[in-house]
Amino acid sequence: MAYPYRVYEELRREAPVSYFEPTGQWLISRHADVNALLRDRRLGRSYLHVAGHEEFGRPAEPEFQEPFWRVIRAGMLDVEPPVHTRLRRLVSKAFTPRMVESLRPRVRAMAGELVDAYVEKGGGDLIAEVAEPLPVTVIAEMLGIPDGDRHLLRPWSADICGMYELNPTLEAQHTAVRAATEFSDYLKALAADRRANPGDDLVSALTQIGELTEDELVGTCVLLLNAGHEATVNVTGNGWWSLFRNPAELARLRADRSLLPTAVEELMRWDTPLQMFERWVLEDIEVHGVRIPRGSEVALLFGSANRDPEVFADPDRLDVGRADNPHISFGAGIHFCLGAPLARIELAESFGALLDRTSKLELREEPEWKPGYVIRGLHALNLTATPA
């Protein structure tokens, strides 16, 4: 959708809780409500730990999807406590702010190399040449995926994400299942190898944890590889596109590089890369006097929460120096993004390298949005780069 923000404005004002017939979901559009429901344990990312499909009035998934859900449901994002608590504890050791900060020099060097090559050619598609390779390489290196196999990751991840759009086509579903199966087979083979010959990487470290089942190990790696780049790519593309539409803010950032950290947060707020997350209602709840019964599904509209005037002064204005910015793009509560410190480093380093190494970046053509609403990103962003 080119610009969902007008619709959100009306929802927040007129109907902060509204039932949306086409998807059978309750839409929640205000920041305070989205934030509170993300933290509310009466809701869950899954219901399968407390009830079956039948009790929640949902059809069981078609059998052909089993290999897909087996992988996805073994990752921490799709489980609830106590399994979530255990998985998150095991994996979070690799993502402490200190551990992640130690990666900064490597991220900076990689961003520098990618941007040098890009500027040397006079520019090109920023998404394919800088936005994608940076986070894909960082997370692949962390996990220890061999260099020669990295080209496989992006297509697998993109195909898997196809299942998360509203009403995916049958073809998209089959493509997602095939990708999950191939990815999973690949990781099982890699883990077997690392179990025997451990290296200094996350896959090796995970194979040494006796508590982790093989499905959990594979599910964790798939989650880290997908979550570890998909949104970062889109924030880079959407972020530059936002700056081109607000040239005074781009000029302000060029003139004062100390604004980089607030600019990254603001770009994530202003054009939200993951527009919506869903939750299942495990016990009846009430929001603004509306009772939402157990078994319902709520759609938390992150893109709307991030433009809520109750929380953000002048919310439709892009302000790269915005100081008070409690945006919700990394979520909240127990599933708060594990990779947020890493994403922040990657974004600051890539925006910083592009600003440092160019005197000018110009749009060659109007970019096109990828289809789909939940994951918001551009197909390509073609630019002309003038070296600094």
Half-sphere exposure (Cβ direction) of 345: Cα atoms closer than 13 Å: 22
Closest distance between ligand HEM and the C-beta of residue 337, in Å?
3
Beta carbon nearer to ligand HEM, 177 or 227:
227
Beta carbon nearer to ligand HEM, 119 or 230:
230
Cα→Cα distances 151→140, 154, 162, Å: 10, 7, 18
Beta carbon nearer to ligand HEM, 12 or 84:
84
Beta carbon nearer to ligand HEM, 17 or 79:
79
Half-sphere exposure (Cβ direction) of 223: Cα atoms closer than 13 Å: 24
Closest distance between ligand HEM and the C-beta of residue 302, in Å?
7
CA distance 61 to 173: 11
Beta-carbon contacts of residue 192 (< 8 Å; ≥ 6 apart): none
Closest distance between ligand HEM and the C-beta of residue 221, in Å?
11
Closest distance between ligand HEM and the C-beta of residue 211, in Å?
17
Closest distance between ligand HEM and the C-beta of residue 288, in Å?
22
Whose tokens are 């997908």? That residue is 226
Closest distance between ligand HEM and the C-beta of residue 154, in Å?
14
Residue 237 contacts residue 127 (beta carbons within 8 Å): yes
Beta carbon nearer to ligand HEM, 43 or 190:
43
CA distance 271 to 350: 18
**Which residues of the shown chain bind ligand HEM in the complex (CB under 6 A)?**
45, 76-77, 88, 139, 223-224, 227-228, 231-232, 235, 273-274, 277, 329-331, 335, 337-339, 342-343
Residue 181 contacts residue 67 (beta carbons within 8 Å): yes
Residue nearest to ligand HEM (CB): 339
Beta carbon nearer to ligand HEM, 77 or 383:
77
Closest distance between ligand HEM and the C-beta of residue 220, in Å?
8
Closest distance between ligand HEM and the C-beta of residue 332, in Å?
7
Beta carbon nearer to ligand HEM, 174 or 334:
334
Closest distance between ligand HEM and the C-beta of residue 222, in Å?
10
Beta carbon nearer to ligand HEM, 123 or 331:
331
Beta carbon nearer to ligand HEM, 119 or 312:
312
CA distance 86 to 212: 9
Cα 136-5-338 angle, rounded to 5 deg: 35
Beta carbon nearer to ligand HEM, 90 or 383:
90
| Residue 288 backbone zone (phi > 0: left; psi -120 to 50: alpha; other: beta) | left
Closest distance between ligand HEM and the C-beta of residue 35, in Å?
11
